[in-house]
Structure 1
Amino acid sequence: MEIHTIIFDLGNVLIGWQPRALFERVFDTKEEVDHFLQNVATLEWNEKQDAGRTIEEGTRELIAQHPEFEREIRIYYDRWTETITGPIEGTVEILKELKASGKYRLLALTNWSHELFPWARETFDFLELFESIMVSGEVELQKPDPAIYRLLHETYDLKAYGGCVFIDDSLRNVEAARKEGLDTIRFESPKQLREELVARGVGLGGSR
């Protein structure tokens, strides 16, 4: 089926996000960074903010659980922009080529706190290339919950997903989307993404 709609994840597909980039500046050793991110400020904890919980509430709860890390827990959001490593230029180029072609509907589906996403909109002008961006914190659902893919379908009238392809770096998000009927690409690199889109017949400015 001919592709007409391309749906991008943002974090680590178009915009680099690495909490380690911040906490390597906070802690003295790799072991301390590993312990903090694996046992204190975990992805599971962060995802609750992505699903709509306020940063204040999430911070307060985590400090109550780990009072010995209060300073570092507060740093997580006080210096949150230091976890953003910048645009992934090769993917941004693909997005620009898709937009320039005028052939494709471009949407984004991102797990992101509703309190933090306005900064991303102000910082990365290429986000304006999307017709619309569904932000998990705004709809209070998050990937890989099947409900967010269903909401995407209903909101943008995706007609049973025919002709759509969804791009995400997370295996669990890709698998959940696939179970809902979306054609999916698990993002590994801009080069690999370009090749997979071209293989689906998507028109890009070459397969470099």
Structure 2
Amino acid sequence: MSSAPISTLFLDLGGVLLSDGWNTACRKKAAETFALDAREMEERHHLTFDTYEVGKLSLDGYLERVVFYESRPFTMEEFRRFIFSQSYPFPDMIELIRKLKEKYGLKLAVLSNEGREIQIHRIQAFDLPSFIDYFIVSSFVHLRKPDEDIYRLALDVSQTPPGQCAYIEDRPMFVDVARKLGIQGICHRGYATTKAALAGLSLSLESA
């Protein structure tokens, strides 16, 4: 248990509150749907996606390199719509975080690696500003996890001591980096275990 009350939650988005935005499974499905060479697409993706995710390339620019480097029988807009359609929410996690915010007056921040257009779509489609206070996103701030500077930026923006912050993330390495900086880390494996871990930090919806 932390020595001071948790007042800020940093939340990964993909894998915690929402599905991943553009992961391996989504790309495989795209290759099947649009009859693309999956191996070539994946190689091109890995060569350039970091540039998109850190905000130095637009989604259209990324797609020009990965898909539209040659003529296709479908449009870029059709492919963009497919990408956006792959996202879906995890309602139980969203409801848990909403209720904890309401009960404890928490500040909530998304701390996410995501390309700009995909992230903006997800923010708007799932009405995240209705309960998230601010968004620290790799493509917005030009830093990516596990760079310690993006965590330091989150702390600076929140103006909360590290020990009063908790971070929910599904990648163990990213949790480890946060813990190194004094942030309370929760490695998300599912609703039940994360709810229990939050209760261990005195963030529980149960009556005392």
SS of the equivalent of 1:96 reads helix
Q: Are 1:45 and 1:58, in contact at CA under 8 Å, matched by a contact in 2?
A: yes
Q: Displacement, 1:60?
A: 3.5
Q: TM-score, normalised by structure 1?
A: 0.80
TM-score, L = length of structure 2:
0.80
* Unaligned runs of at least 5 residues, structure 2: none
1:10 aligns with 2:13: yes
Specify the alignment match of 1:39 in structure 2. Answer: 43
SS of aligned partner of 1:147: helix
Structure 1 residue corresponding to 2:93, chosen from 88, 91, 94: 91
C-alpha separation in 1, matches of 2:122 and 2:54: 17
Q: Secondary structure at the match of 2:139?
A: helix
In 1, Cα distance between the equivalents of 2:52 and 2:73? 19
Say which is worse superposed, 177-186 or 75-84, in terms of deviation. Answer: 75-84
1:23 pairs with 2:28: yes
- For the 8 Å contact 1:52–1:140, the answer to whether it is kept is yes
- Contact 1:168 1:186 (C-alpha < 8 Å) held by counterparts: yes
Are the aligned partners of 1:22 and 1:83 in contact in 2 as well (CA < 8 Å)? no
In 2 relative to 1, CA 183–37 (structure 1 residues): closer, same or farther, beyond 3 Å? farther
1:190 match: 191
Matched, 1:56 2:57: no
Give unmatched runs, 5+ long, in structure 1: none
Counterpart AA for 1:195: A
Quick one: which amino acid aligns to residue 201 of structure 1?
S
CA distance in structure 2 between the partners assigned to 1:76 and 1:181 by the alignment? 41
| Consecutive aligned runs of 4 or more in structure 1 exceeding 6 Å deviation | 68-72
In the alignment, is the contact (CA less than 8 A) between 1:49 and 1:113 conserved in 2? yes
Q: Is contact 1:106-1:130 (8 Å) kept?
A: yes
Q: 1:71 to 1:45 in 2, by over 3 A?
A: farther
Query: What number of residue pairs does the alignment pair up?
Result: 197
